[in-house]
Structure 1
Amino acid sequence: MQLEIGVDALLLVGSGLLLLAGLASAVLDKAGARFRVPGALLFLGLGMLAGNDGLGLVLLDDPQLVQNVGTVALLFILFEGGLTTKPTDLRLAALPGALLATIGVAVTAGITGLGIWLVLDLDPVTSLLLGAVVASTDAAAVFSMMRTTPLPRRISALLRIESGANDPIAVMLTVGLLATLAGDEVTAGDWAVFALVQLLGGALVGLAVGGIGVATLRRLDLGVEGMYPVVAGALGALAYSSAAWAGASGFVAVYFAGLLVGALVPRHRRSIRGVHEALANAAEIGLFLLLGLLVTPSELPPVALPGLLVALLLAVVARPVAVWLCTLGQRFSWRERALVSWGGLRGAVPIVLATFPATAAADDAGAIFNVVFFVVLVSVLVQGTTLRPLVRGLRLQVDRPAWAPVAEALPIEGLDVDLVEVFVTEDLALHGRRLHEVPPPDRALVAAIVRGHRVLIPRGDTRLATGDVLLLTTHRQGDVLTRMTAWARGEVPTTGGSTALGHTGDPVTADDDPAAPGAAGPATAHPGTDDDER
């Protein structure tokens, strides 16, 4: 007797591919510190290997299924992108990001479409359709790249905002041009209204759902910490579906909802971000595997030359022109513009959009999909692998990822106390100072310092260094993270007579009070208390 369920074989192959992709990505990431192989390229390759022209483990020929699954995967990716976008990112790059997400996409599509019409043997509408499909940068590829590439804060903010908000214009152009190919009369006014409803409607729905979610997550005690990521994820799905029901962009809505939750729910932000970062990684792997399964590799060689020409036109002409126009008068240097131009990776979104012609039964749908897939392969392979060297070559490299937080709260359940992590970097006022020179805010204590793989017991004369993580305990009152961040940046005056560990008198050292909490004990109690580690 044997029980078999129809999905068993699919789960076996799918889980094996996911596991192989994750392990291979981790190994290559550690092995290639200078020359990183983008995960998207690896996942696409594995999908192609397991698909129709490869081992034949999974046979997939359903563009509608890929389009639906791709939409769900993009929701996880965009929601996580919103969660990790800080309000300061919006202050740094809201205007250029919005311009690139709207005007920039249209300019890129127009220049690319014009070039395709002049170089390739395609009619004008099909040329513009192909340009529209590849015009938007990809949130999955960009967010993944920013986790490992040390970009300047302003550049990171700009790319994040653009890739999180530029899909509606690409969708609008794609849908409008498909309607034109089908013989429908689509006026410029129709396109303008559609774009306005998509962008503004999606933003309003996302802000509304996100605001309700913030009030819920801040005021209600869900009991178990693991429930907060679940509720947050449900809010993201609600934002997308509500916007789609209203005829607006669900992609914009889910991004804005994540933005509000990430910015305004500090107490549970760590657990929410942790879970959704894992979900976004899984969605990215699954999406690129699925897209690799859909393509037929034997059909790619005939479109290699057209695909290479489109990729070249997009990367060295259309994208730089769009970036230059959308950043005029905003104090971007030519180095920053060059980095933004090269960092606009194409990935899952263009391939998902390339399934639209197939589901609409358009002529040349297969050729369009294959050309777009080839363009994405070139973008990920060339731009993805050369971005880090370009950052170094342009002298724009930073030591710390721009999205990394200054302070993170870890609520201690059952107690009115928070454990707060503060990350020390060279730009903070804490850097290079001794603890007694920068006493923490009132009712806060530095409990430990994590330095590399060691944990140091802090003393008043301990000197803080780049890379240190301070662990502070503080009473749960007001906006803890705002106070801690302001202290770390030197934006609030310190109180005289404070200790490095808290407001309890003069600075504590081993000579003053061996029994004090911050005093030196046996060498085994806190290794590494020499002056070079203080």
Structure 2
Amino acid sequence: MTAADLAIVTGLVFVWGMLSARLERFEMTAPIVFTAAGVLLAHGPLAPLGITPSPEVVKVLAEATLALVLFSDASRVGLRRLRPDLGLCLRLLLLGLPLSIGLGTLAAFILPGVGTGWLALLVGAALAPTDAALGAAVMVNPAVPDRIRRLLNVESGLNDGIATPVVLVAIAGASTVEHIGDTGPGKAVAELALGLLIGAVVGGGGGRLIKLGRDRGWVAEGFAAAAVLGLALCCYATSVALDGNGFIAAFTGGLAFTAAGGPAARLVPFVEETGALLSLLVWLMFGVIAVVPAMEALTWQTALYAVLSLTVVRILPVALALAGTRLGRPAVLFVGWFGPRGLASVVFGLLALEDLAEPAVRPAVTAIAFTVLLSVLGHGVSADPLAKRYGPRLASSQGPPAAPTTSAAPAEIPERRLIRRTPADSRLKE
């Protein structure tokens, strides 16, 4: 990336920071704005300015962003605070998510060029995680019951980490079939296991040390949050250096950090905000390198798959997972619709594009890219009007309210997550 590219990118971030609240009043979310900016800079009237990111830059940016997202998402998990709705969350994560991956994988066989089970699994798993930030208006609208917002937020915070090993095994399997790599599914599973161990040791040990240092006054408060950021990246880099899986290490490290660090977990917002900044750049790269090629390669099968992925493939597993929970049909359909595909799916697509041969992986990446693009537009535009119209109905349709807790933390979880994905949402909170 040249100095001119850096000037353009940083200027875009500045302009978004200045106008973000104003633009969001017109349903112009950060993913929409930065994706559009990427398209205009690469293929539109702003093309003479030119942004030409190298494959190495794109890969490093995507990997660093996903590592920070996985660490911060996992570190936000507090089972004590989520106990009232823990059963609903587990239903979505342990039943709904696998069903979504399986159904998405089966549907992917309609895509032209997706002739192997590994590529179909790649598409199904990459598009299973959800992103609450694309439905920001839902997450901050008080008309939507806290219980529904919390459920959507916790699901989106954890399902990307759970889906990550499936995506990585699918990429490894596809690379073996195409004879372009030496990392088969068996080796990938071994790397996942090593990543679990390294993440637990580094994240848990680091959390314990930060807690000890703060208790004894060794840590300057101005640098405590930076230490957590360094720990998040250390989990990823240590695992990669030792031939483990860095993404699983980052996710496991976040879980271990919260468990061992206790009050130190309050320092995570700095990691979230850094991830939020990097996510803006990922959306920009998505517009630069993925959107136009996806539109040029679009077929009716791909368009059909995108529609199915955002409707049947999402809503049916959610309905099955929440059956018998007394949430009510309106609430179940609301949760089913607001399963936007966002940052994690984009990063998975970029990683597949970098690790697999271009002709072989292009149909899968096209399906991922077009589905995400359709989700960015559909969920971004529908979030505010649907939250205002159906939010009051959800409050009366769901089952008995969750048991009261002594902490107000659960209600704060959605806003905290939104700070990570879209910094402008902190103003909406105020």
TM-score, normalised by the number of residues in structure 1: 0.62
2:276 aligned residue (273, 281, 296): 281
Q: Percent identity?
A: 21
1:88-140 deviations in whole A, cap 9, x for unaligned? 35545666656755665554344234334346575354761563354331558
* Higher radius of gyration, 1 or 2: 1
Deviation at 1:317, TM superposition (A): 1.5
1:183-225 deviations in whole A, cap 9, x for unaligned? 99999xx56x855862x65444333323212221122123421
Structure 2: tracts of 5 or more residues without a match: 397-407, 417-428
Question: How far apart are the structure 2 equivalents of 1:391 and 1:215?
Answer: 41
Question: How far apart are the structure 1 equivalents of 2:98 and 2:22?
Answer: 39
C-alpha distance 154-274 of structure 1, shift in aligned 2 (>3 A): closer
1:404 aligned residue (404, 409, 412): 412
Q: Which amino acid aligns with 2:198?
A: V
Indicate whether 1:342 and 2:337 are aligned.
yes
Question: How far apart are the structure 1 equivalents of 2:229 and 2:378?
Answer: 34
Question: How far apart are the structure 2 equivalents of 1:304 and 1:149?
Answer: 37
Structure 1 residue aligned with 2:79? 87
Q: Which amino acid aligns with 1:281?
A: A
1:55 aligned residue (46, 49, 58): 46
Q: Which amino acid aligns with 2:168?
A: V
1:5-62 deviations in whole A, cap 9, x for unaligned? x953232112112112333432223x24xxx333212211111112244412233364
C-alpha distance 278-309 of structure 1, shift in aligned 2 (>3 A): same
Structure 1 residue aligned with 2:170? 173
Question: How far apart are the structure 1 equivalents of 2:385 and 2:311?
Answer: 18
State the secondary structure of the residue aligned to 1:137. Answer: coil
Structure 2 residue aligned with 1:323? 318
1:208 aligned residue (201, 205, 208): 201
Q: Which amino acid aligns with 1:210?
A: G
Indicate whether 1:43 and 2:51 are aligned.
no
Within 5 Å, which residues of 2 pair with 1:130-529? 131-132=123-124, 134-138=126-130, 141=133, 148=140, 151-152=146-147, 153-182=150-179, 190=185, 194-195=188-189, 198=192, 201-220=194-213, 221-245=217-241, 248-262=244-258, 265=261, 270=266, 272-295=267-290, 297=292, 300-303=295-298, 305-327=300-322, 333-355=328-350, 356-392=352-388, 393=390, 395-396=393-394, 402-404=410-412
Q: Which amino acid aligns with 1:359?
A: D
Indicate whether 1:65 and 2:57 are aligned.
yes
1:421-473 deviations in whole A, cap 9, x for unaligned? xxxxxxxxxxxxxxxxxxxxxxxxxxxxxxxxxxxxxxxxxxxxxx9x9xxxx
C-alpha distance 248-104 of structure 1, shift in aligned 2 (>3 A): farther
RMSD: 3.9
Query: Which protein has the bigger strand share?
Result: 1
Question: How far apart are the structure 1 equivalents of 2:395 and 2:320?
Answer: 24
Question: How far apart are the structure 1 equivalents of 2:367 and 2:66?
Answer: 22
1:115 aligned residue (98, 101, 107): 107
Question: How far apart are the structure 1 equivalents of 2:210 and 2:182?
Answer: 47
Deviation at 1:180, TM superposition (A): 2.8
Q: Which amino acid aligns with 1:235?
A: L
C-alpha distance 169-119 of structure 1, shift in aligned 2 (>3 A): closer
Q: Which amino acid aligns with 1:286?
A: L
Deviation at 1:388, TM superposition (A): 4.2
State the secondary structure of the residue aligned to 1:346. Answer: coil
Q: Which amino acid aligns with 2:9?
A: G
C-alpha distance 296-219 of structure 1, shift in aligned 2 (>3 A): closer
Q: Which amino acid aligns with 2:412?
A: A
TM-score, normalised by the number of residues in structure 2: 0.75
2:200–2:253 CA contact under 8 A, matched in 1: yes
